[in-house]
Structure 1
Amino acid sequence: MSFDFTVPDRVRHWQEAIRDFVDCTVIPIEQEVFANGLTDDVRIRLQAAAKAAGVWAPQAAAAVGGGGFGFDEAAVLLEEAGRSLLGPLAINCAAPDEGNIHLLNVVATEAQKERYLVPLVAGDMRSCFAMTEPPPGAGSDPRALRTSATRVDGGWSISGVKHLITGAEGAGLCIVMAANADGSGATMFLIDPDTPGYRITGHARTIDRTMVGGHCRVTFDDVRVDDAAVLGAPGEGFRQAQVRLAPARLTHCMRWLGAARRAHEIALARSVTRELFGEPLAQHGMAQQMLADNEIDLAAARALTWRASWTIAEGDRSTESSSIAKVFVSEAAGRIVDRSVQLCGGLGTSEELVVGRIYADIRAFRIYDGASEVHRMSLAKRAVRRARAETR
């Protein structure tokens, strides 16, 4: 048995390059974006700079224009990108595109890869993944899926409503999950947004605001597609979506770990320069406890993320390690940022110190890609099954 946390030279080189790019190119425009909003023009500008800096799409396969790093190596690089809320978008490893790139690379046909994956990796278009529905439709429970796909002459008819679909406004591709009307499972489809019957019908005003294209309500009204639009196999949608599920949870962990680390860095710097009651804040016992707890949460979150990422890189398709990491990292990151706000005082609630913006954006991480409670339920069921088997 071997535990090797050595970072390879190529990964270390990219890590340093991404750190420099984020510090010198991305962070300087944060306040402009916070004030004016994140648009596709900003995305295009940042992505052009990332390509010029040689830090483009490290997690994507080299064959389609990415950096070609392994999943465990990406854990190091995506954390570094996440130090700015704009960093992952800039180097094209942000959700939902990053998860869709991985899904297409594994499941799509060669023709589908040429049509969608290549331009997605190149940054020539954005994408969205339409799974979540308004109540009583699918959310934490995918079995509640109500959007339906019906066989018709020449292909399929898709009807239903999705909501909270990140990045849908302006996306060039929508991957939609629909239940087969004949009860034969669910199917994923690749939908061009100009297809008749596909409409953006609303925007949710959420507390997080650093997502291009917002969080949208999308209506499918007899959207007609042919068999070439099926991603994977008909009726196998849920099974094939597992290809995206565990890796996407972990790439969220990587990116948000970077954001939490940035909040801690800001709080730490303020703690050694801000004087209260005659001495630096960092000399006060209560502040020291918060700083120490942040260090502990960061180290534990990174260890769980690296371990789970390594299991996937080794070919393990089990979702248990990703569930454990997702629950812990989402909650630990929230604690880290919350303490950082407290340490920064009144300015900690503002976007001026960035900590306030991170605080608002990171809260949703405990809900999307499986709420903490759903993951805990799944983990408990697995533990009980093991205990019963051992008892027998």
Structure 2
Amino acid sequence: MDFDHSPRTEELRQKLMTFMETHIYPRIPAHKAEIEAGQFPVSFMEDLKALAKAEGLWNLFLPSLRDDEPGTGLSNLEYAPLAEILGQVSWASEVFNCNAPDTGNMELLHMFATEQQRKEWLVPLLNGEIRSAFAMTEPDVASSDATNITTSIRRDGDDYVINGRKWFITNACHPNCKVLIVMGKTDPNAETHKQQSMIIVPRDTPGVEIVRNPTILNMHDPEGHAEIVFQNVRVPAGNLLGEEGSGFALAQARLGPGRIHHCMRSIGAAEMALDLMIERLQERKTFGKYLSEQGVTREWIARSRLEIEQARLLTLKAAWKIDKVGAKAARKEISLIKVVAPNVHATVTDRAMQAFGAMGLTPDTPLADSYTWARALRYADGPDEVHMQSIAKMEIKASNRGRSAIWLTPPQR
């Protein structure tokens, strides 16, 4: 395994850091002010997207591109250090068309869409002209097990009719969200993992109702984590993504790279928190000493660096393995980092908040919002506990029973 930056990655990394320093960091206060004033989308987002596209910093996330698809064609390993930079500012990914859930939806459409579906939905998404949402999670069942979902997708002549309730549907409240990819059951009597299908639902289809946009830990996200009711929503049969019964397999294909993208950004957010913490500790004195001279705070710094480096290496390994053998064969590494990265993100951010005292709880720093999202990521794309179960099962299956006899000393008689 070689995790050195390729020349191309290093060139893009330098360009990206310059772009962030020139166009993103200076606009953080303005972005915050517009959101607080109810201005959304923010007034300068489209201008920034045009700049990013002009500089070749566009669709960095998608490894394999067709000739008619705009982007850089980076591998997951090449994309990792770039996503880490994007993770330092919560809204930066959208500027480069690298924001969830659009990235996962674009990957799905890239792999499985018909030519008509590509033309109608993938091309506008790749061009950054529209936004999208992925509707899988439901409030009434444990959706970490996708076989539990109850939303009905029923064939009726040349159409499918959709009925059900979804929630925590990220991005559904964005004004530019024009399409939902909905997962539901087309055949409840089929084999367990063949019951589900995915279907494309235009956001303005009659019967699609956003019930509410709940806050998370009392933080309001204007893009939304919406609760949505689908009541007799009728779409053409041609909107089916893939084949009937392929929904579970499509979900796994979508979630693999998407999970590590979250982890890449979490490492960037943790780096941002550590930078803020170190600066704060060197500015403040207690009992005649700078906080950075206190033993306990130096341990915070050291432990944070240890944890970030460990998480980064595990993320790079997962990205490398996806590139080499695909997401399915890399599922253990994906589960490992999906548990580790959000927890490192939360732990380092928590220490930084402690260093800032009461200020760390306020909007005067980005830490409280970052901590909130780190906590939410422990549910997103599968909760920690599900990934831990998967890891344990794979370890047990791979174990070599009887090898313990090599190391165990039998009792002397």
TM-score interval for Structure 1 and Structure 2 normalised by the shorter chain: over 0.9
Look up the match of 2:105.
Answer: 100
Q: How many residues align?
A: 388
Q: Is the 8 A contact 2:3 2:77 kept in 1?
A: no
Report deviation, 1:220: 1.0
Look up the match of 2:137.
Answer: 132
Answering whether residue 48 of structure 2 is matched by residue 46 of structure 1, we say yes
Look up the match of 2:80.
Answer: 75
Find the residue that maps to 1:118 and give its secondary structure: helix
Find the residue that maps to 2:181 and give its secondary structure: strand
| Partners of 1:58 and 1:268 in 2: CA distance | 31
Report deviation, 1:36: 3.6
Instruction: Calculate the TM-score normalised by the size of structure 1.
Output: 0.93
| Partners of 1:209 and 1:117 in 2: CA distance | 31
Moved more, 375-384 or 325-334: 375-384
Report deviation, 1:32: 3.1
Q: Indicate the structure (1 or 2) with the bigger Cα radius of gyration.
A: 2
| Partners of 1:121 and 1:326 in 2: CA distance | 26
Answering whether residue 335 of structure 2 is matched by residue 323 of structure 1, we say yes
Find the residue that maps to 1:225 and give its secondary structure: strand
For 1:217-296, list aligned pairs within 5 A.
217-296=227-306
What is the one-letter code of the residue matched to 1:364? A
| Partners of 1:16 and 1:344 in 2: CA distance | 31
Spell out, residue by residue over 1:61-119, the C-alpha distance to the aligned partner (whole angstroms, 9 max, x if none). 55411121111111111111111111112211111111111121112122211211111
Report deviation, 1:286: 0.6
Answering whether residue 381 of structure 2 is matched by residue 374 of structure 1, we say no
What is the one-letter code of the residue matched to 1:261? E
Percent identical: 32
Spell out, residue by residue over 1:266-313, the C-alpha distance to the aligned partner (whole angstroms, 9 max, x if none). 111222233333332211111100000110111001001000011111
Report deviation, 1:51: 2.4
| Partners of 1:210 and 1:262 in 2: CA distance | 22
Q: Is the 8 A contact 1:209 1:361 kept in 2?
A: no
| Partners of 1:390 and 1:178 in 2: CA distance | 44
**Structure 1 stretches of 5 or more lacking a match?**
none
| Partners of 1:334 and 1:243 in 2: CA distance | 27
**Structure 2 stretches of 5 or more lacking a match?**
404-413
In structure 2, which of residues 179, 183, 186 is the aligned counterpart of residue 177 of structure 1? 183
Find the residue that maps to 1:168 and give its secondary structure: coil
Instruction: Calculate the TM-score normalised by the size of structure 2.
Output: 0.89
| Partners of 1:345 and 1:174 in 2: CA distance | 41
Look up the match of 1:56.
Answer: 58
Look up the match of 1:112.
Answer: 117
Moved over 6 A (4+): 388-391
Report deviation, 1:4: 1.6
Report deviation, 1:330: 1.2
Moved more, 42-51 or 364-373: 42-51
Look up the match of 1:358.
Answer: 370
| Partners of 1:153 and 1:129 in 2: CA distance | 25
Moved more, 199-208 or 124-133: 199-208
